[in-house]
Copies of this chain bind each other. A is one copy, B any other.
Amino acid sequence: MALRNAVMAALLEGEASGYDLAKRFDTATADFWTSTPQQLYRELERMEGEGLIRARVVEQERRPNKRVFSLTEEGRSALHAFTRRPAKPTAIRDEMLVKLQAVDAGDAEAVRTTIMERMERARAKLARYERIRDRLLEGRSEEEYLRETDHVGPYLTLMRGRYFEEENLRWGGEVLAILDARAARRTSR
């Protein structure tokens, strides 16, 4: 029942199809909530049944038709109620960090590779976030934007995503240096 809150929050930015949402909630792109398409479509069905969202079919010429969802008034008020309830603590699950925790008994080279891949992914995410930011700002400075818009939520969560990935890169660099120094010492013995 937690996914629906994330879905409603996403729909605040405008109507979206299940496919649109699936892209937004993909681990490769999401900055604070992830989900699979299957889960989303099922939840969307339920939410429509409960009147939180409504669907309209958009006929497309060069693509399969799609169902586009938007928030109902009921959904809006459910979302408002959600913002008043206490939030659960952040749930993190990161296999990369489990691997790193076990690096001393594991395959150091493989762990190193995983960290480098993660850094590459962080760079890609940062580039993506930067594009989204540009689209939001529309040429304005951050200060101007925040003064003029009545829609700060997406900007603030995006900011969080940006900081997170920037920090991933910084941390990853330090970790690689430490692992390298260690590997060098080991082979020289």
Residues of A within 8 A of B (CB): 2, 5-6, 8-10, 12, 27-28, 30-34, 76, 79-80, 82-84, 86-107, 110-111, 114, 117-118, 121, 146-147, 150-154, 156-157, 159-160, 163-164, 167, 170-171, 174-175, 178-179, 181-182, 185
Contacts and interface: CB of A to CB of B under 8 A. Distances in A.
Contacts of A167: 163-164, 167
Contacts of A111: 83
A159 B171 contact: yes
Nearest to A96: B87
Number of copies: 2
Dominant secondary structure at the A interface: helix
Contacts of A118: 87, 90
A83 B97 contact: no
A63 to B, nearest CB: 28
5 contacts: A6-B101, A80-B107, A91-B93, A104-B152, A163-B167
Contacts of A178: 146, 152, 156
B104 A33 contact: no
A99 B80 contact: no
B95 A153 contact: no
Given A106-B80, A178-B146, A93 B90 contact: yes
Contact of A179 (B5, B80, B101, B152): B152
A93 B32 contact: yes
A96 B106 contact: no
Given A84-B107, A90-B93, A98 B32 contact: yes
B159 A98 contact: no
A1 to B, nearest CB: 11
A71 to B, nearest CB: 9
Given A33-B97, A91-B93, A100-B157, 5 more contacts: A89-B121, A91-B91, A100-B156, A104-B153, A163-B170
